[in-house]
Amino acid sequence: MLRLLDANLDRAREGLRVAEDWARFGLNRRDLVAALKDLRQQLGSCHLPSYRQARHTASDSAAGLGHPAQAQRLDSQAVVAANCARAQEALRVLEEFGRASNPGLAAVAEACRYRLYDLETQLLADQSRVERLAAARLYLITAEVPHLLEVVEQALKAGVKLVQHRSKSTNDLQRYQEALALRQLCNRYGALFIVNDRLDIALAVDADGVHLGQTDLPPAMARRLLGPDRLIGQSSHCLEDLQRAQAAGCNYVGVGPIYATPTKPGRQPVGFDYLRIAAANAQVPFFCIGGLDASNLQPVLAEAGAAAGFAVVRAVMEAADPAAATKELLELIAND
């Protein structure tokens, strides 16, 4: 019995470590890393010396026994799924056999097993949106302009692959109707669609995600409501904002405002000082924002680095020729 408990504690912790490393290096999800590490530590505290001392690999008739299915795990999703299953099965064994000799271990194993079911959903979430986000370096944020759909469609035709609907003065019905029309437009051109602030509207129109300000709903609560597959972005104005957003599992951050902008009245620009700090510390995609256009983008490109993205509002939404303005910005970014 001691050997059985030792083997399954090892098996559960090993499976959790594989999942934890994928969360860290594959997903850049610090929140998942912390949760999986906590499960490992809980199990480690239950791994008694008597269990380890009972270990005797030489007399284990199944030591080294494999299965052909192991050779079929050819991608990260298959590896993570297999190791989550391995940990869950080991936890069930600990729960069943630990009840008589170590009820505390059985209780911890049961709690960890149920927690891992939830974490597995996030670990195996559809990553296609994350991959598309990483490839999108120009981020169009809408403004309340005449012919909104026509302007956005011109930008989409010119190559924009990431659009955010931002509306501050319209009523809820108008916001919903605009967001729904923009969602359909983005679908047609294969672009990601994000809703600013309003999680309810993002859910109502089946958006790809939501962008939150520092005083909006906490990202952790937004994640509970949105589920694991959709994107969450958050504005940041200092290193502490960036670190909190990353710790909360945000998929991207906005960095700015770089220059003063009328879209954020009263907000002092952060300039290049915070931009340099963000470029050195960002572990998720980040988008420079605030007064950017073709005339002042070059120095921002130089400071931000090749991995940065750039968010614009007026440079496209108020341009005489939105398609031409979009193409010029995309060319500048591509040639950086």
Instruction: For residues 36 and 13, give the distance between their C-alpha atoms in angstroms, rounded to a whole number.
Output: 10
Contact in structure between 293 and 315 (CB atoms under 8 Å): yes
Active site residue 61: no
Find the catalytic residue in 264, 267, 314, 327.
264
Choosing from 30, 40, 161, 235, which is the catalytic residue? Answer: 235
Whether 169 is catalytic is: no
Helices assigned H by DSSP within the chain:
2-21, 30-45, 49-53, 76-101, 103-123, 128-135, 148-158, 172-189, 199-204, 219-226, 239-247, 271-281, 297-304, 314-317, 322-334
Q: Is 59 a catalytic residue?
A: no
> Using CA atoms, how far apart are residues 86 and 58, in angstroms rounded to an integer?
23
Those residues whose C-beta lies under 8 Å from the C-beta of residue 332, and which sit 6 or more positions away, are 294, 297, 298, 301
3-state SS, residue 113: helix
Residue tagged active-site, from 113, 166, 198, 223: 166
Residue 277 neighbours by CB under 8 Å, 6+ apart: 239, 242
Residues classed as catalytic: 166, 235, 264
